[in-house]
Amino acid sequence: MAIPKHSFIAWIISNEALMLKQKLFKLYINPDDLCCICLSQTETHLHLFTECVYSQQILQLIGNWLIADFSSPSILASIASKRWSKLRKQVCTITILAAWYQIWSQRSEARINGQVQRVVCVFNSIKAIISQCFHSCKPEVISYKDTCCLSRVQLV
């Protein structure tokens, strides 16, 4: 169900291969190593995608929406270890991938233009993307339990 560009960015993130400011600072390319969004911590993969207050707010809203806790630093492993249905794990995973893509996009906006979208706007974009993804790829048969779960988040 995942959008290819989201999967690609997630793969780069999981390999910690993005050229974030910590790396650029160490290479003497950037004069500081502060996070482009919060400007208060060193910009590492862990900080940008899990610890930054901006990312935490987005992950909190997504967690509230999907009735899940996404506060773990290893979110995808955490989702995989849950005793959820395969469909629920898929929805949570594609949502996290979409969130990471949006955080990366907002980080780029912050670096180039010095501004980011409000957290609620990013969250609404993620919800719209996931709804579109889900409806274009949803299975023909959805269990009663999944129907109950997904109807709470207005996906079915």
Judged by the rule CB under 5 A, the positions of this chain that interact with Zn ion are 35, 37-38, 52
Q: Are 66 and 134 in contact (CB under 8 A)?
A: no
Is the CB of 50 or the CB of 90 nearer to Zn ion? 50
At closest approach, how far in Å is the CB of 155 from Zn ion? 30
137 is written with which tokens? 């790829």
For residue 36, the cross-strand partners are: none
Is the CB of 42 or the CB of 85 nearer to Zn ion? 42
At closest approach, how far in Å is the CB of 87 from Zn ion? 33
* CA–CA dist 132, 149 (Å, integer): 17
At closest approach, how far in Å is the CB of 54 from Zn ion? 6
Is the CB of 2 or the CB of 20 nearer to Zn ion? 20
* CA–CA dist 4, 97 (Å, integer): 10
